[in-house]
Structure 1
Amino acid sequence: MTPSDTLVLRVEGRPVARYLIRPELPARLSPRPFLHPVTTLAGTPVTELSPADHPHHLGVGVAVPDVEGHNFWGGRTFVRDRGPTELDDHGTQRHTSFQLRDPDGFVAELRWVVAGTELLRERRTVAACELTSSAWALDFTFSLTNVTPDPLSIGSPATNGRPGAAYGGFFWRARREDRAPQVFTAGREGETGIHGSRADWLALAGWGSPRSSGAGSGGGWTLVFAGATEETRRDPWFVRAAEYPGVGSSLAHTERLAVEPGGTVVRRIVTVVADGRLDRDEAAALVRKAVTR
């Protein structure tokens, strides 16, 4: 990895995230650019990279397990009537250029390629801004355009026969601790009640019991995710807490998402990254500020 392959995001001069542009990864992990480590303003890490439980979980980014039968998520592919199966079907997200590159954000162009054929072209816009002395926001927008002459469809293990596994889209692999994080929305609490539901925002609150060392690694933390457009808010949340900590939005929850030739899918997720464990009122106030700023 060379310095030109990374970009450091800063909030008021403080580094809060590193964007890896061309990570050197095996094909079965579906190589792609991602953010890791992401930290709170106090330095507490809130992402994980290739953990033992899921080596294909790569910090914060965009990953889709089924683009017209090709795996851009990594790991095994869920096959109807067979289950998770090792297949040679992995695609790669290739960074091509930056349209904008500043200390607090960037606009990048990517190509989603499999076996030398480009299926999707992505424009990724990422920005970081301070909210308070103990919280900042990561604003992440991605647009996927079908550059083939034929219709494409985006699926998930759920649409391929595995109930409750509608992952695919924006995904944040959070830091694993000795205790599962608390999960809550404005009206619900707990993984079981929230997974697969729609909510304006969703919070994941960690305890700060570190499995890794580092500056600020012992403090509690809260991540508050919000769909920042009407279309994004229609996507149900994918949530894991007990098995591992992770949050994403589901592009293909019960049905495949069709993308016509030249058509574009756009999603925007804003995430509050806060030191300490926020309550509902605090989480709601910060996410309103982050989305409407």
Structure 2
Amino acid sequence: MAPAAVPPNRPPVTVSGAALKPSTSLRAGGRTVGRYVRRAELPGRLSPRPYLHPLTTLAGVPVTGFMPADHPHHLGVSVAVPDVAGRNFWGGPTFVRGRGHVELDDHGVQQPLAGPAGGPEGFTEELSWHADGGELLRERRTVAVRALDEDSWVLDLAFALTNPGPRTLSLGSPATNGRPGAGYGGFFWRAPSGSGQAAVFTADAEGEEAVHGRTADWLALAGGPWTLVFAGATEETRRDPWFVRVADYPGVGSALAWTRRLPVPPGVTVARRIVTAVVDGRLGRAEAGALARRLTAGTGA
């Protein structure tokens, strides 16, 4: 049985299709490195939302996976939360304690509200997270790209989620709903499969078991001819544990609610910022650490 209806905070704002570009190409160092899709025809069970895909290295090597057979609700790079006040903004089946993952009609939608302010090197936009005809969260999202050197570029993604309604709501995940060890939700990057098992490491740990669920200022995922170096650009972001998968599929997230649900009182904003280097070639720990320090040098981190 589906969970009880969530009282709407306020109706989501609607915009005409003509007022909103369906996608934006992203350019770093004069080269197209990807696309940000804000309006896409997606099934409701995927929790429709804007996403970044395809993204590539400067040499054109793909570094995102989209709707893979193992997890069709993985949409390149996106901001997604499994449980917002009982509604699924992650996609796929919902975890219900005592029943496992079951298919429920409880998926929310992230709706862009207006055309973005900016261009192919960066923009800011507002989104409405809504379900059951009512708005649960209002988001302000900023996406920026820049070239770092001849074989790497940077994706800087920040989001701020505000509760616009009169009641406290909370964000959760399977771990915070009675399934220990599976916390996730927030920034998530699905990397491409098919190039062998990726390597994952931080400054002082290596391997999925060693880094999953831990905090670290930066984390690197190296898969074949590419490396992704993720760094938290704010103190709040660095306090969130990393959600990591390499054995089943390659993916990295920064978890908003790992062991406890995250309450969001009325008018309160939850803000996070992840800066990611996209690199041609496979980096080692020393190289990745030096790159991570460069990523956050100008962010105030």
Does residue 119 (structure 1) correspond to residue 126 (structure 2)? The answer is no
Indicate yes or no: 2:107 matched with 1:102: no
Decide whether the 8 Å contact of 1:111 with 1:122 is kept in 2: yes
Distance (whole Å) between structure 2 residues aligned to residue 126 and residue 178 of structure 1: 28
The residue number in structure 2 matching 1:247 is 252
| Number of residue equivalences | 281
Match of 1:88 among 83, 99, 105: 105
Q: Determine the structure 2 residue equivalent to 1:216.
A: none
1:29 is matched with which residue: 32, 46, 49? 46
Q: CA offsets, 1:53-95, max 9 Å, x none?
A: 0000000010000001100000000011111011000000001
Cα distance in structure 1, aligned partners of 2:273 and 2:196: 30
> What is the aligned partner in structure 1 of residue 6 from structure 2?
none
Determine whether 1:130 maps to 2:135.
no
CA displacement 1:181-213 (0-9 Å, x = unmatched): 000111000001100001110000011xxxxxx
- Which residue matches 1:6? 23
After TM superposition, the structure 1 stretch with the greater mean CA deviation from structure 2, 2-11 or 24-33, is 2-11
Cα distance in 1 for partners of 2:285, 2:128 equals 39
- The answer on 1:289 being equivalent to 2:294 is yes
CA offset digits 1:227-278 (Å, max 9, x no partner)? 1100000000000001000000110000000000011000000001000001
TM-score where L is the length of structure 1: 0.94
What does residue 267 of structure 1 align with?
272
SS of residue in 2 equivalent to 1:108: strand
2:82 aligned with 1:77, yes or no? Answer: no
Q: Deviations over 1:160-179 (max 9, x none)?
A: 11222101000000011241
User: Deviation of residue 34 (structure 1)?
Assistant: 0.4
Structure 1 stretches lacking a partner, 5+ long: 208-219
- Contact 2:21–2:115, Cα closer than 8 Å, also in 1: no
Matched, 1:42 2:59: yes
Letter matched to residue 89 of structure 1: D
Is the CA contact (8 Å cut-off) linking 2:143 and 2:155 kept in structure 1? yes
Structure 1 residue 148: Cα displacement = 1.3
Give percent identity, aligned residues only.
64
Tell me which amino acid in the other structure corresponds to 2:97.
R
Give per-residue Cα distances to partners, 1:146-171, cap 9 Å, x unaligned.
01110000000001112221010000
Report if the CA contact (8 A) 2:77-2:189 is conserved.
Answer: yes
8 Å CA contact 1:131, 1:286 repeated in 2: no
1:106-157: CA deviation from partner (whole Å, max 9, x where unpaired):
1011000101100000000010011110011100000000011100000000
AA aligned to 2:267 is G
2:181 to 150, 164, 167: 164
- Give 1:233's match in structure 2, choosing from 238, 241, 263: 238
Report if aligned partners of 1:11, 1:136 keep a CA contact under 8 Å in 2. yes
Partner secondary structure for residue 295 of structure 2: helix
User: Do 1:131 and 1:289's aligned partners in 2 also have CA atoms closer than 8 Å?
Assistant: no
Unaligned runs of 5+ in 2: 1-16
Distance 2:290 2:278 in 1: 13
Q: How does 1:166-185 map to 2 (within 5 A)?
A: 166-185=183-202
TM-superposed CA distance for 1:102, in Å, is: 1.6
CA-atom RMSD in angstroms? 1.3
Residue 152 of structure 1: aligned partner: 169
- Cα distance in 2 for partners of 1:47, 1:7 equals 16
Counterparts of 2:295 and 2:214, CA distance in 1: 22
Q: Is 1:276 paired with 2:278?
A: no
Aligned residue runs from structure 1 range 198-217, under 5 A: 198-207=215-224
The answer as to whether partners of 2:188 and 2:253 remain within 8 angstroms in 1 is yes
- The answer to whether the 8 A contact 2:54-2:76 is kept is yes
3-state SS of 2:113 partner: strand
